[in-house]
């Protein structure tokens, strides 16, 4: 899985991580190579382009972290972006099969590996999750397919619904539902008929079965070797039938992996499993983190950068603490505070945690301020010069206007920020003297 892509990328990053300093051009060249590698792996054009843009943007906004090289940082950014492309906004979690008997509908083209996957999944659910599983083939056009499922069932020790000649798929689905309920099964898997191409009849049949079975999961099986075609098939099936997840088969082959990388971004549907061979155990749950790690093959660097980033945050907090104790609290500190607040779930909760800030928290609530305010305040501070941040008293009316305009905001908001800063600085000073500051900061970092 992903061998050639992985080889290509490790070549690019080996060169990059060996360099001590990186120019913007070095990064650009490396990313151009990454883009080519993605396209050669048959990743869709738009996904590859968005990927590179996202990495580029993050790499240019990245401040230098000590103890790792810029190249290592780029590897981490690429890794995180790979995870993002592979899983979208989050891990889909386990299959939804809690309410027995839970129906799972398997759909896909003929030859995609649907029947094999049905049996692999049944075996997995039986052995790993201790579920009692029933399988039923609805492929009335191909008696051989029905027999194939029966043979696989016997092989793995999973029951199959007895074959009754002359029944249509909807009838079989209903019979499976009854048999599953009567027989105390946890899950029943319906293996629908496949065709070589998506046609109206195939879709109509799958939709009719879906309507009677009301599946908890509808898994689309697609052949990973078919690259972008797999993604197109998924889009079409999802439009017409609605799928909850994808199983990519034949990922054991020397396929280029593009289907896996484009699937989530193009269809919005998660890959739930990958098929890795013909044997009944050759199925794996799909984990974006693990796959990204496999593609990049640079797990050491990724964890190194993660650690360095944590250390740097702790260092920053320590330094800020020292400054605050000395009664210094400038706009840079304030920005750090605001960033931290964003990370810790917003303003109100944050303020409420700090002694002496309860009143401020109340004021915030009353004034209807929310986290968008935090973002605007950060934008305002970003528009100030270094000197102004160190010493906000320097701000004259004309500069205030420019800063506000520069961040698309009103001077009024800037004045509010300055006032808030002054109040906080006063308070920090008082708290610093009383030793309360240390106490308060403990809860924050
Ligand atoms: P269906 O027509 O979609 O039901 O496809 P089948 O389940 O009959 O599979 C077609 C062929 O693909 C069979 O020879 C399977 O053994 C093979 N196959 C299925 N999944 C995989 C896989 O993940 N890797 C490999 N190498 N072969 C697979």
Assess if residue 264 is contained within a domain: yes
120 lines ligand 1 (CB under 6 A): no
What percentage of the chain carries pLDDT values higher than 70? Answer: 83
Residues 157 and 279 in one domain: yes
Residue 445: band (very low, low, confident or very high) from pLDDT cuts 50, 70, 90: very low
What mean pLDDT, rounded, does the chain reach?
A: 84
Residue 346: pLDDT over 70? no
Assess if residue 152 is contained within a domain: yes
Residues 277 and 338 in one domain: no
Contact 346, 337 (CB under 8 A): no
Residues 175 and 84 in one domain: no
Cα four-point dihedral sign 329, 330, 333, 335: positive
> Is 193 annotated as contributing to ligand binding?
yes
Q: What is the pLDDT of residues 206-243, one digit of tens each?
A: 999 999 999 999 999 999 888 888 899 999 999 999 99
Structural domains of the chain, count: 3
Nearest ligand 1 atom to alpha carbon 221: 3
Look up residue 53 and give its two tokens: 């843009």
> Is 280 annotated as contributing to ligand binding?
no
Residues 66 and 133 in one domain: no
CA distances from 121 to 222, 282, 287 (A): 15, 10, 16
Could you tell me the CATH number of the domain that includes residue 406? Answer: 1.10.260.30
Residues 151 and 266 in one domain: yes
Helices (H), 88-186: 114-129, 143-156, 169-182
Give the domain-ending residue among 286, 317, 350.
286
Look up residue 174 and give its two tokens: 């209903």
**Nearest residue (CA) to ligand 1, atom 14:** 278
Query: Does 101 sit behind a cis peptide bond, omega within 30 degrees of 0 on the bond before it?
Result: yes
Residue 190: pLDDT over 70? yes
pLDDT of residue 365: 60
Could you tell me the CATH number of the domain that includes residue 35? Answer: 1.20.120.140
276 lines ligand 1 (CB under 6 A): yes
Q: What is the pLDDT of residues 355-407, one digit of tens each?
A: 455 556 666 566 655 677 778 888 899 889 888 888 888 888 899 999 998 88
Contact 130, 285 (CB under 8 A): no
Separation of alpha carbons 329 and 439, rounded Å: 17
Domain span at 392: 326-444
Q: How many CB atoms lie within 10 A of CB 240?
A: 16
pLDDT of residue 192: 94
330 lines ligand 1 (CB under 6 A): no
Contact 190, 136 (CB under 8 A): yes
118 lines ligand 1 (CB under 6 A): no
Give the domain-ending residue among 237, 257, 286.
286
Look at 307 and 109; give whichever has higher pLDDT. Answer: 109
Q: Which ipTM value was assigned to this complex? A: 0.98
Assess if residue 46 is contained within a domain: yes
pLDDT of residue 210: 95
Give the domain-ending residue among 301, 335, 363.
301
Residue 344: pLDDT over 70? no
Distance 106 CA to ligand 1 centre (A): 14
Residues 121 and 65 in one domain: no
Look at 1 and 52; give whichever has higher pLDDT. Answer: 52
Nearest ligand 1 atom to alpha carbon 148: 8
CA distances from 325 to 417, 430, 432 (A): 22, 9, 5
pLDDT of residue 213: 94
Residue 420: band (very low, low, confident or very high) from pLDDT cuts 50, 70, 90: confident
Assess if residue 222 is contained within a domain: yes
Nearest ligand 1 atom to alpha carbon 251: 23
Beta bridge partners of residue 248, listed in sequence order? 222, 274
> Is 251 annotated as contributing to ligand binding?
yes
pLDDT of residue 439: 59
Note the pTM of the prediction, 2 decimals: 0.70
Nearest ligand 1 atom to alpha carbon 116: 7
Assess if residue 306 is contained within a domain: no
| Mutation to probe ligand 1, out of 118, 220, 278 (largest number of atoms < 8 A from CB) | 278
Residues 157 and 134 in one domain: yes
Residue 2: pLDDT over 90? no
pLDDT of residue 323: 74
Q: What is the pLDDT of residues 309-341, one digit of tens each?
A: 677 677 777 777 777 777 678 888 888 777 776
> Is 168 annotated as contributing to ligand binding?
no
Assess if residue 310 is contained within a domain: no
| Mutation to probe ligand 1, out of 107, 109, 113 (largest number of atoms < 8 A from CB) | 113
Q: Which of 140-144, 210-214, 264-268 is the most confident on average?
A: 210-214
Residues 339 and 436 in one domain: yes
Q: Per residue, what are the HEC states of 10-29?
A: HHHHHHHHHCCCCCHHHHHH
Query: CA dihedral defined by 353, 357, 362, 366, rounded to 10 degrees?
Result: -120
Distance 273 CA to ligand 1 centre (A): 14
Out of 55-69, 109-123, 200-214, 239-253, pick the least confident: 55-69
Assess if residue 316 is contained within a domain: no
pLDDT of residue 105: 97
Look up residue 106 and give its two tokens: 């398997």
Residues 146 and 225 in one domain: yes
What contacts 239, CB < 8 A, 6 or more positions away? none
Residues 150 and 274 in one domain: yes
Backbone region of residue 197 per phi and psi (left: phi > 0; alpha: psi in -120 to 50; beta: other values): beta
**Nearest residue (CA) to ligand 1, atom 19:** 113
Assess if residue 379 is contained within a domain: yes
254 lines ligand 1 (CB under 6 A): no
Residues 144 and 271 in one domain: yes
Residues 13 and 36 in one domain: yes
Could you tell me the CATH number of the domain that includes residue 197? Answer: 3.40.50.300
């Amino acid at each position: 899985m992903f061998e050639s892509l992985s080889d290509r990328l490790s070549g690019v990053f080996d060169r990059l991580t060996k360099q001590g300093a990186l120019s913007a051009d070095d990064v650009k060249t490396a990313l151009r190579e990454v883009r080519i590698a993605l396209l050669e792996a048959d990743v869709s054009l738009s996904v590859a382009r968005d990927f590179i843009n996202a990495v580029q943007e993050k790499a240019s906004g990245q401040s230098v972290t000590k103890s790792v090289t810029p190249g290592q940082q780029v590897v981490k950014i690429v890794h995180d972006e790979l995870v993002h492309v592979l899983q979208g906004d989050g891990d889909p979690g386990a299959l939804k099969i809690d309410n027995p008997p839970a129906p799972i509908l398997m759909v896909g083209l003929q030859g995609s590996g649907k029947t094999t996957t049905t049996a692999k999944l049944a075996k997995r659910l039986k052995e790993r999750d201790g579920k009692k599983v029933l399988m039923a083939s609805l492929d009335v056009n191909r008696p051989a397919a029905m027999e194939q499922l029966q043979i696989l069932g016997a092989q793995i020790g999973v029951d199959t619904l007895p074959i009754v000649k002359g029944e249509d798929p909807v009838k079989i689905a209903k019979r499976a539902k009854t048999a599953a309920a009567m027989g105390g099964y946890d899950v029943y898997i319906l293996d629908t008929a496949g065709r070589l191409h998506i046609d109206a009849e195939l879709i109509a049949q799958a939709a009719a079965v879906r309507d009677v079975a009301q599946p908890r999961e509808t898994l689309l099986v697609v052949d990973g070797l078919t690259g972008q075609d797999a993604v197109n098939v998924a889009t079409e099936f999802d439009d017409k039938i609605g799928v909850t997840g994808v199983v990519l088969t034949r990922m054991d082959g020397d396929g280029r992996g593009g289907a896996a990388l484009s699937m989530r971004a193009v269809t919005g549907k998660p890959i739930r499993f990958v098929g890795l061979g013909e044997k009944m155990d050759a199925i794996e749950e799909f984990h974006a983190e693990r796959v990204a790690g496999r593609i990049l093959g640079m797990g050491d660097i990724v964890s190194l950068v993660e650690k360095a980033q944590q250390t740097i945050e702790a260092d920053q907090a320590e330094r800020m603490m020292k400054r605050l104790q000395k009664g210094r609290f400038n706009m840079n500190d304030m920005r750090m505070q605001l960033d931290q607040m964003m990370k810790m779930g917003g303003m109100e909760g944050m303020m409420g945690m700090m002694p002496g800030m309860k009143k401020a928290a109340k004021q915030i609530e009353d004034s209807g301020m929310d986290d968008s305010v935090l973002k605007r305040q950060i934008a305002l501070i970003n528009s100030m010069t270094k000197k102004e941040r160190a010493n906000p008293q320097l701000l004259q009316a004309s500069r205030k206007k420019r800063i506000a305009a520069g961040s698309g905001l009103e001077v009024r908001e800037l004045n509010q920020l300055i006032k808030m800063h002054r109040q906080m600085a006063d308070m920090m000073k008082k708290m610093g003297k009383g030793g309360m500051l240390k106490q308060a900061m403990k809860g924050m970092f």
